[in-house]
Structure formats: C-alpha cells, structure tokens
Amino acid sequence: MLPQWIIEKKRDGKELTRDEIAFFISGFTSGSIPDYQMSALAMAIYFRGMSFEEVTILTDVMMRSGKTFSPSSFGRFSADKHSTGGVGDKVSLVLAPLVASCGVTVPMISGRGLGITGGTLD
C-alpha cells in the first residue's frame, strides 16, 4: 500500500477502507508518512468529504493511535469534564471539585498547549 494511492482514491471521491485509513494514520504517527502527504489527504477529504463509516473508522483509529486507559480503574463512578481551554473556560475549575465533592472521581484529562491561549492544563 502506498500513501499516494490512498490520496488518489479519496481525491477521486472513493470511500477508504479501514486498512487504508489505519495505514495512513499509523504511518503519519510513526513518521514514515510525511506531513505534505497528510496535507494532501486532508485536502482530498475536505473537497470530497467522508462517509459516516469513514469518519467512524478514522475516529477509532486516531483514538487507538495513542495511549488509552480504562476509566474503570478509577472506581465505581468517574467522569471527565474536558475542555479545549482558552480564555473563555470558566467552568472546569469550579465543576471538577464540585463533582468530586459528591464522591465522583474526576481525573481532569486535559489538552496541553492547544494554541495561543494554551490548553486546559496550561
């Protein structure tokens, strides 16, 4: 499988398979697929769109491309209030301790440095 074949397939309006999407994401995260090829695929997706099935597969593959954990390791009740951060986030710092005071484990999984305003953790 070659990255350019996948780019051409999407450029031509065809639906990508799970294997093709997984190959592309795995190659990009490992560094074997360069950013210009990922940009070309993103442009093809922008112009041709993705089916519901493709979006579902892409979401699953991207989620599994990093480290994951099971929320069951936190105990019976757990919740996360996720925010992209920034100047307008006034809820996270109040809501997490409030929910935790009710006995819910709140791990506060956050993004880091998500732009000029920073992530939730910043």
Give 43's contacts (C-beta < 8 A, 6+ positions apart): none
Domain boundaries along the sequence of the chain: 3-63, 71-122
pLDDT in tens, the chain (122 residues): 999 999 999 999 999 999 999 999 999 999 999 999 999 999 999 999 999 999 999 999 998 898 877 777 777 788 777 766 566 667 777 888 898 898 888 877 666 555 555 555 55
Class of domain 3-63: mainly alpha
Backbone angles phi, psi at 105, to 5 degrees: -75, 125
Torsion of CA 71, 74, 75, 81, to 10 degrees: -70
